[in-house]
Amino acid sequence: MSEGLAEGVGIARAHHFETVTQQRRATTLGIWAWLITELLLFAALFLVALILRILHPEATVAAARHLKFWIGATNTVVLLVSSLTMSMAIEFSRMGWQRAMVRAMLATAALGSLFLVLKGYEYYVDWDEHMMPFLSSRPFALAETPPARLFVNLYYVATLLHGFHLFTGIALLLGMTWMAAKAGFLARHQNWIEIYGLYWHFIDLVWILAFPILYVVNRGP
């Protein structure tokens, strides 16, 4: 039994690690190293958005006011709650409460799916309002302001990239939930839940940064 875990909960040591503690530290370090590189990618996109706001305030404000603030705000709450349910799943796994853990994981996946549904609806409204400058068949509503086109394209790159990470996270979570529901899972792979939890919290963090930068700061006074 590992420290801080209930009886019957633990990690099966892989053959290339000397101890379970070494294995846990290596996997944690590995996921953190990867998440930091992903965070740098998003940070670059958000930095460009802020620079664009400084250089072309009127154009970016005009573009940002077409974004659906209520959807962005609702999705922020959805992801915050999903981080709570994911944290609950981690705690339940440490306590050995397998059924409660599985339910919390399913709730997390459901909330992530709700986020994607709302985001899809927002994209549909954008399409209806001619706010997709990359579609030649539908003239861009703010075609007379090139910086606005750049901001909107940047918005799509950032949100689609985040959506891809979220979709991947949901798929992985559902697969892990299927495995986690089997007897003996927590005795061998409890650390999978904790490692995956870091990825889900990363998805939440990226959106917490995206919402104020894209929806709030650029809306202007």
The answer to whether residues 52 and 147 touch, using CB atoms and an 8 Å cutoff, is yes
Quick check: helix, strand or coil at residue 124? helix
The residue written with tokens 């958000």 in the block is 46
Higher pLDDT, 202 or 3: 202
Rounded Cα distance between 65 and 27, Å, is 43
Quick check: helix, strand or coil at residue 66? coil
The answer to whether residues 204 and 197 touch, using CB atoms and an 8 Å cutoff, is no
Which distant-in-sequence residues (6+ apart) come within 8 Å of 93 by Cβ?
9, 101, 180, 186, 190, 193, 194
Rounded Cα distance between 72 and 154, Å, is 16
Query: For the whole model, what pTM was predicted?
Result: 0.90
Write the pLDDT tens digit of every residue in 34-47. 999 999 999 999 99
Tell me which DSSP letter residue 138 carries. Answer: S
Q: What is the mean pLDDT of the chain?
A: 89
Nearest to 63 by CA among 5, 163, 132: 132
Write the pLDDT tens digit of every residue in 39-83. 999 999 999 999 999 999 999 999 998 999 999 999 999 999 999
Q: Is the pLDDT of residue 161 over 50?
A: yes
